[in-house]
Structure 1
Amino acid sequence: MSEQLIEKKTIGEVERIVHGSGLWDGTGPVEFSNDGETWSETWAPSTEHPLPEFARVEVFRKDVRIPTKVTIRWDEQVPRADEFWAGKWVGAPMRHFGRTARMVGYRQTFRELLGDIVIEDEGDDRALLDAAPEADAAPTERDWAAEIADAESSTLLDAIEKDARAARIFTPDKAGTDLHRALRARRREIAATVADAASAWETPAIAASVQVHDVAATTISPEKPARPAPQDHLPPANRAARRAAARKKGKR
């Protein structure tokens, strides 16, 4: 079934579209009836008729000689599928039943302007059809092998295993056995990955005690100057030079 978009508006928004077209030529009063023969613009509940059975209205268009006259039935229009609006219809039948009668008249008279627009409190079978699941839609088959291979955590793998067991995927044949083996192998891989990651982030052990040297108790002796080398031994060349110098001195 192709998706059908339903545009919803209030009765005021619809009337602004109709009145602004320049083609609207008036709307007659809404009339109600319990039997389709006696009509009145007012209605009151009774023991025999707690709700009105019919409503009708006339809509006039300038370029059409005959007015559009619509008659609707309560059972065909009340939005039973929507508890909120159904309750409002029962609480104020003239208001909501009358709005719907005018909306049906506007839609038939100004189809080119309104298309398939509905008002928010109007019962519409198309909404029920769109909301209902398609009976002939085939269920989507899951690729169990791919889901097992793509699982990144043991939690996700547990969920896949739970669904697989509920669907009775692990059958006593080659296909079921292979899937179960793949599940167990993937679980081991995830556990190994988690263990490796945990060991990589382990912090080194802190020593229980640290030996600290007492700097204040350590005696530092001052450095002594180097002892000069003895000067009593001189090479022979130096001794000869001294003798020559002494002779020169004696001549003076």
Structure 2
Amino acid sequence: MTTTVFAALDFGPVWEMRSELLSGIGTMALVSVVSFAIAIVGGLVLAGMRQSRSLPISWAGFVLIQVLRGIALYVLLLWLFFGLAAQGGFQFEPIPAGIFALALLNSAYLAEIFRAGYEAVPPGQKEAALACGLPKRTWFGKIHLPQVTQITLPAMGNVFVDIIKDTSILSAIGVAELLRESQRWAQFYELPFEFYTAAAAIYIAIVTLVTFGWRRLERRFSRHLHTAPRVRRSRGLLFGIGGRPSTTTAS
């Protein structure tokens, strides 16, 4: 029975419509990258507001972050695209509305990531640097910022992956990204299983490539740690028990 079901599958139309699916991937990539870039800027602004010594500014940043984190992406998207226009407000085009919604939502998450990374660096480092006569700009650019970047990069990668997957929600307002194109041709050929399977495989492939690329970026920003001594155990031991550890230095 299972063999009969799989034998009836027809992925030929999926291959025939590869140019349309590739067009949807291009739209998805454009929206993802632009949204992520804007979200980084917004996250830095919100994180700066949260770290402000002015209590009203700090509280305003806190409220904005909580509001943006509390709104579902689908609701925010419909509010921007349909709600504002219905009340005579600004009429967004589908792609700008999707970019704006993704950027707003994820700027709140990135703000908390940046704030946590900033606070993770021991404050004593700044005191020691200033006591040694190091200018604040040099301390921030050469000591503080590299550590904050290293701490926040893994979480930023997770946000970017979420943005890539969340672009599928933009099909609700007519953005011709990957899912929208898959839905269109799945209905035309009446082959939902084939087209949605192909879409799922493409999402997995893209996320996997982005993950590996981001890991390389993380290692690049952690190169200064690779000179630290590390313990290497013999491969012939079970669970590394019972051997003499040897100390090596990574190149």
Calculate the TM-score normalised by the size of structure 2: 0.21
- Rg larger for: 1
Larger relative contact order (Cα-Cα within 8 Å, sequence gap ≥ 6):
2
Task: Specify which structure has the higher proportion of helix.
Answer: 2
Q: TM-score, normalised by structure 1?
A: 0.21
Structure 1 or 2: more strand by fraction: 1
